[in-house]
Chains A and B, each alone.
Chain A
Amino acid sequence: MSTVNVDVKLGVNKFRVDESNPHIILVENPDRAQFRKLINACPAGLYREDDGGNIHFDYAGCLECGTCRVLCEGTILEKWEYPQGTFGIEFRFG
């Protein structure tokens, strides 16, 4: 089985990232069990753990589905909101 490369898929999409204003913010030192749920669930693969066991999150590439909000609101998400108007993903087909 081939390992998925989500970045290639996201590369096809049209984004306008609000560089100065992240719409999702994690708490400091997020709980690993919670974080792993997001590694499994995030369709954009934005929650990652590298080979050294360090965790990474980047809100650029967010498809604004809300999966992380439903799973981790009140635990490891400090903030979840939609990007400001006109920012974020633009589905050209949907």
Chain B
Amino acid sequence: MSDEKFDAIIVGAGVAGCVAAYVMAKAGLDVLVIERGDTAGSKNMTGGRLYAHSLESIIPGFAQSAPVERKITKEKISFLTADSAVTLDYQAQRAAEIPAQASWTVLRHGFDSWLMEQAEAVGAQFITGVRVDALIQQNGRVTGVQAGEDVLDASVVVLADGVNSLLGRSIGLVQKSDPHHYAVGVKELISLPAKTIQDRFGVSGDEGAAWLFAGSPSDGLMGGGFLYTNRESISLGLVCGLGGIENARKSVPQMLEDFKQHPAVRPLIEGGTLLEYSAHLVPEGGIAMLPKLTGDGVLIVGDAAGMCLNLGFTVRGMDLAITAASLAAETIIAAKESNDFSYSQLQKYQQKLEQSCVMQDMRHYRKLPALMENPRIFQQYPQLAADIMADLFTIKGAKPTPLWSTLLKRGRQVGLINLVKDCISGGRAL
């Protein structure tokens, strides 16, 4: 490798790393991205869905050339018990018509490779198949990276090394991992013909469905199932919080297997072939797990910085990573222009983040991660919904009960005070 000093070295070619490289290279900076996988995206997976707003502002009209899968026009949320489902179904045509409000299902190998190509086209350099082993520090300042025998120098290092950010840990930006801040996600990619997907989910052309499931998929633990339609495959999986995993009655792979066998899910994937089985950690701790975002000579972005928001009905990570990456890039571009890469100059990244959707949304929803650890959400409420539906829809030929007394009886199952409490804390968290 060369003796050249880069303006910035970025560790990791996920969406954050590639976008940071794209923005900086476009502004004329000398940028190197180092990725341990053979290609960008080969170590990455998503549920997954990309909310387009942030990438749309950086590469307008990206969805016309990027390998996106389907545009979401149908949103579904289900409460599941072992054998029942209560589902909310929303036809979401309007937002899908506006590029900055649309969302797309994506598969990361193809998508990240495309992003890498965009960054290369504006002059960013990539080295793939190389693992960064350590950060080089001089007098407390990060001055480069070490990969095997090689040392590479940079004015700034951007850590886009993902949810396990060992590099962030090594210099004290990222705190020791607390299991309550993480969930594990597992996914099967199941091949099905496009026509079958369109028929089963009631979508046409390149339109698709996003479906979230609470209750039995994570066996009552914090988490839930997900299903996203791709062009010719379905992403089916679940997420399970690690905070209570010792109390799990079955293993995470078994949870996924049982979820696949659920009567509401099995017909949707029938006849499909498994293409890939993948897993990933999800940083779900919100603002409480946020690392120190700036160090001397170093910035941290995306999953590595715990930038993720799971509200139960929307799950966001990639769009936040993209916004953070572009703000990190802008900070470094400004530093280069003033030839001042000092810590105080780099700290402007944090100020920019505070004014962006990343920190504004994460602060707004700061109470949510704690709320999500409330077991009633994943145990009693799905059962409650199923029981009320059974009362409403089952005809037994018996004397009718007034609706209010049915609801009251079911409410007492959970405890009326609990219901009120959870409504208030839910209302406050959202």
Contact B131 A82 (CB under 8 A): yes
Task: Tell whether A26 is near chain B: CB-to-CB under 8 Å.
Answer: no
Whether A44 lies near B279 (C-beta < 8 A) is: yes
Once A40-B245, A42-B252, A71-B179 are accepted as A-B contacts, the answer to whether A84 and B131 lie under 8 Å apart by CB is yes
Interface flag for A56 (CB, 8 Å):
no
Evaluate whether A91 and B188 lie within 8 angstroms (CB atoms) in the complex, with A4-B256, A12-B274 already known: no
Q: Is B153 an interface residue (CB 8 A)?
A: no
Q: Is B345 an interface residue (CB 8 A)?
A: no
Contact B246 A36 (CB under 8 A): yes
Q: Does B281 contact A (CB under 8 A)?
A: yes
- Which residue from B44, B276, B281 sits with its C-beta under 8 Å from A70? B281
The reply to whether the CB of B182 lies closer than 8 angstroms to some CB of chain A is yes
What CA separation (Å) do A93 and B186 show in the bound complex? 14
With both beta carbons as reference points, the residue of chain A lying nearest to B249 in the complex is identified as: A40
Are B245 and A69 touching (Cβ within 8 A)? Answer: no
B236: shortest Cβ distance to chain A, in Å? 12
Stretch of B34-42, B92-100, B383-391, B398-406 with 4 or more beta carbons under 8 angstroms from chain A: B34-42
Within 8 A of B (CB), among A51-94: 63-67, 69-71, 73-74, 81-86, 88-94
Binds A, one of B50-58, B106-114, B346-354: B106-114
Answer yes or no: A2 CB below 8 A from chain B CBs.
Answer: yes
Are B131 and A43 interface neighbours, CB within 8 A? no
0/1 interface trace, chain B 175-189, chain A, CB 8 Å (1 if under)? 011010010111011
Contact A43-B129, Cβ < 8 Å, known A69-B164, A89-B43: no
**How distant is the Cα of A63 from the Cα of B44 in the complex, in angstroms?**
10
Known contacts A9-B277, A44-B279; A94/B41 CB under 8 A: yes
**In the bound complex, what is the Cα–Cα distance between A3 and B163 (angstroms)?**
30
A25: interface (CB < 8 Å): no
Closest to A84 in B: B131
Contact yes or no, A37 B246, CB < 8 A: yes
- Pick from B107, B166, B256, B257: contact of A94, CB below 8 A: B107
B254 to A64, Cβ gap below 8 A? no
**A65 contacts B177, CB within 8 Å?**
no
Q: Nearest B residue to A67 by beta-carbon distance?
A: B184
Contact in complex: A94, B278 (CB < 8 Å): yes
Residue of A with least CB distance to B38 = A86
Contacts between chains A and B (CB distance < 8 A), count? 148
- Do the beta carbons of B45 and A4 come within 8 Å of each other? no
* Interface residues as binary, A5-44 with B (CB distance below 8 Å gives 1, 0 otherwise): 0100110110000000000000000000100110111111
Contact present for A86 and B129 (CB under 8 Å): yes
Contacts of A89 in B (CB 8 A): 43, 278
Do the beta carbons of A70 and B242 come within 8 Å of each other?
A: yes
Of all chain A residues, the one with the shortest Cβ separation from B34 is: A85
The answer to whether A69 and B177 touch across the interface, beta carbons within 8 angstroms, is yes
The CA-CA distance from A88 to B164 in the complex, in Å, is 16
Q: Is the CB of B107 within 8 A of A70?
A: no
Q: What CA separation (Å) do A56 and B99 show in the bound complex?
A: 50
Contact between B261 and A85 (Cβ–Cβ < 8 Å)? no
Give chain A nearest CB distance to B122 CB in angstroms. 24
Minimal Cβ-Cβ distance residue in B for A86? B129
Please name all residues of chain A whose beta carbon is closer than 8 Å to the beta carbon of B189 when the two chains form the complex.
93
Contact with A along B248-282 (1 / 0, CB 8 A): 10111110111001000000000000111111110
B46 within 8 A of partner (CB) = yes
Instruction: Give Cα A89 to B253, complex, Å.
Output: 18
Complex Cα–Cα for A4 and B184 (A)? 17
B27 proximal to A (CB < 8 A): no
CB-nearest residue of chain B to A89: B43
* A3 / chain B contacts, CB cutoff of 8 Å: 254, 257
Q: Which of A9, A36, A94 contacts B109 (CB 8 A)?
A: A94
- Least CB distance, B354 to chain A, in whole angstroms: 28
Known: A9-B274, A12-B277. A91 touches B44 (CB 8 A): yes
Which chain A residues have a beta carbon within 8 Å of chain B's beta carbons? 1-4, 6, 9-10, 12-13, 33, 36-37, 39-45, 63-67, 69-71, 73-74, 81-86, 88-94
Q: A41-B252, A44-B253, A66-B163 are in contact. List 5 more A-B contacts (CB 8 A).
A: A67-B281, A73-B176, A85-B130, A94-B111, A94-B112
Can you report 28 A-B residue pairs in the complex whose CB atoms are below 8 A from each other?
A: A6-B277, A10-B277, A37-B246, A41-B251, A45-B253, A63-B278, A63-B279, A65-B281, A66-B281, A67-B281, A70-B177, A81-B166, A83-B131, A84-B36, A84-B131, A85-B36, A85-B129, A85-B131, A86-B37, A89-B278, A90-B37, A90-B43, A91-B44, A93-B108, A93-B189, A94-B42, A94-B108, A94-B109
Q: Which 8 A-B residue pairs are closest in the complex by CB-CB distance?
A: A94-B108, A43-B279, A4-B257, A9-B277, A66-B164, A86-B129, A63-B279, A65-B279
